[in-house]
Amino acid sequence: MSEPELREFLLLPNTFLGCPSHGGGRGAVPRLSECRILPFHPGNCLFLPLSLREKLKSIAQATYTHSRNLAYFVFTYKGLLAAQGKKTPFHSFLAACIGGWLVFGDNNPVNSQIIMYLLSRILFGLARLAVDKGYIPQPRQDPFPLLAALVWGTVLWLFEYHRETLQPSLQSSMTYLYQDSEVWHDVSDFLIYNKRTDSK
């Protein structure tokens, strides 16, 4: 056994033991951060008609699911790579596909949010890769303003005319911003969150 192979063999226990802790910890960080930010978000569970215990339980369940799934995925991905014995672009892609199917294949709110987060970054990454590889020419000007215009134009078009196609939390947020803002109650409308649950 060569020195690189011996080093890789000795690192295997650390790799597998570190997967749950790294994956779980990384999954908990964004969820706990959202708990500080999302109380001011109109689509947040904190504003649903639930008891305090039910709201806290919902946050805890989302945090647990996010952490567990990332830990399972990292463990599965690293395990499949180790089982294949080598790491090539195809092996990495195949291992990640299998892990994604097994771990994130269940269509639930947490998995859906993670997949949409990754999809947006993938599209940006593929666009940059296409430029780097010469498949598409380097833009002469920053294309971001055009992208921003198309994204907002499309999402508002969908919201106004095909609302049912949008994710429920996005529908809730946009309803609060673009419809509830047209209704005047009193000075409390200028508070951070002013959605009324009663008809006044």
Can you spell out the DSSP letters for 52-71?
HHHHHHHHHHHHHHHHHHHH
- Residues 182 and 31: their CA atoms lie apart, in Å, by 32
The answer on pLDDT for 46 being more than 50 is no
Higher-pLDDT residue of 44 and 156 is: 156
* CA distance to 24, 37, 91, per residue, from 60 (Å): 13, 15, 35
The answer on pLDDT for 23 being more than 70 is no
Longest dimension (CA), the chain: 78
Minimum mean pLDDT range among 120-124, 160-164, 168-172, 188-192: 188-192
- Residues 113 and 104: their CA atoms lie apart, in Å, by 11
- What pLDDT score was predicted for residue 86? 78
- Radius of gyration of the chain from its Cα atoms, rounded to whole angstroms: 22
Contacts of 189-193 spanning 24+ positions with Cβ under 8 A: 192/40, 193/40, 193/42, 193/47
- Give the SS3 label for residue 199: coil
For the segment 74-100, the average pLDDT, to the nearest whole number, is 92
CA 160 to chain centre: 25
- Over residues 102-121, the pLDDT tens digits come to 999 999 988 998 999 999 99
Q: Other C-beta atoms within 10 Å of 108: how many?
A: 11
Q: Other C-beta atoms within 10 Å of 126: how many?
A: 11
- Residues 119 and 107: their CA atoms lie apart, in Å, by 15
CA 18 to chain centre: 22
- What pLDDT score was predicted for residue 172? 85
- What pLDDT score was predicted for residue 168? 85
For the segment 30-54, the average pLDDT, to the nearest whole number, is 54
- Over residues 141-170, the pLDDT tens digits come to 999 999 999 999 999 999 999 999 998 888
**Cα dihedral 50→53→55→60 (10° resolution):** -150
